Amino acid sequence: MPERCLIIGLGQIGMGYDIGLDLQKYVYSHSRAFSIHPAFDLIGAVDPSVLQRGIFENIYNLPAYPDIESSLKGDIASLVIIASPTVIHRETINEVLQHLQPKTILCEKPLAYDLIEAREMVEVCQTAGVNLFVNYMRRADPGVIEVKNRIESGYIVEPIKGFAWYSKGFLNNGSHFFNLLEFWLGPFRKATLLDAGRLWENKDPEPDVQIEFKHGKVVFLAAWEECFSHYTLELLTQSGRLRYEQEGKLISWQKTYSDPNFSGYTILQSELEIIVNGMDRYQYNVADQLANVNAEKPHYLCTGHQALETLEAIHEVIKQR
């Protein structure tokens, strides 16, 4: 039977990102993903905003409640999606465990801004026997998984060097790419600060920093979100060049070959191999991975412990500012 799902938080990722977009093509929000995935039964949502609850009820024809305790009037969910603001993630998880006792929680990233809070969240879920996952959704993308397989098989040869453009804060958007590179290149080893940078919205640091992972080094550079959004990775290896562009909607590979005109030189092929991705349906991909968890099949989701490792590494970087 489909697993019952409750969404807490009806902001952009909870509901807003794909309102008005083609249902067949775009799945950017939790509400859309879990309302159409056959492995799940979306039973309702929670949000303090009367306006947001009304929009949800109108679109999905399901109940929306002002608080978690009120949601007990309906069916009890075994999967809870936490899409509330980061500053209340710990509070929300504690309330969920007090009232609902789900089997699985999917929490938005980052777990928390504060490391102590994040550690408490992981510990309380582990104590309660709840599977905790964090929505670093790129790990569920078919293109990202293909790149991981190529690295692990040796097709993409180590060591790897690269750069990453990010903006809108190292904890928020930067953590997406930090976690992605941990997925590809292995655990964080050390950081070398290049420039302290500024604070995004006076709270989230934007440093320029070189990060060393187990299988490679990547320089993170902060762009200017107020001018335009730009999220790009470029990785160079002895076997070719990987580019991850348009926030992951374009993944391309150029392999090496012998220069036909100059003997003894090796160059990159001009033709790009496009690695198929699913970023137009990224939240559906996450739901697919959660379905694998329920079916006790292999999955690529970021666990609470892995997300905590990402957060601890990022705080180690921030401490150098």
**Per residue in 66-91, pLDDT tens?**
999 999 887 889 999 999 999 999 99
Does the pLDDT at position 162 exceed 90? yes
Does the pLDDT at position 16 exceed 90? yes
| Length of the chain counted residue by residue | 321
**b/e burial code for range 56-88 (CB count within 10 A of at least 16 → b):** beeebebbbbeebeebeeeeebbbbbbbbebee
Amino acid at 159: P
Identify the burial level of 319 via C-beta atoms within 10 angstroms of its C-beta, where 0-12 means exposed, 13-18 middle and 19 or more buried.
exposed
How do strand 160-166 and strand 232-237 relate by DSSP bridges?
A: antiparallel
Does the pLDDT at position 259 exceed 90? no
* Domains contained in the chain, CATH given: 3-136+284-304 (3.40.50.720), 142-277 (3.30.360.10)
Average confidence (pLDDT) over 255-283? 93
pTM for the whole structure:
0.95
Average confidence (pLDDT) over 257-261? 90
Percent of the chain with pLDDT over 70: 100
| Average pLDDT of the chain, as a whole number | 96
- Identify the bridge partners of residue 237 per DSSP, sorted by sequence position: 240
Please give the backbone phi and psi of residue 316, each rounded to the nearest 5 degrees, phi first. -65, -35
Does the pLDDT at position 306 exceed 90? yes
Rounded distance between C-alpha atoms, residue 179 and residue 111, angstroms:
12
pLDDT of residue 73: 83
Evaluated on CA atoms 177, 183, 185, 186, the torsion sign reads positive
Amino acid at 308: L
25 or 260: which carries more pLDDT confidence? 25
- Element of type H or E holding 232: strand 232-237
Rounded distance between C-alpha atoms, residue 91 and residue 277, angstroms:
35
pLDDT-derived band at 8 (thresholds 50, 70, 90) equals very high
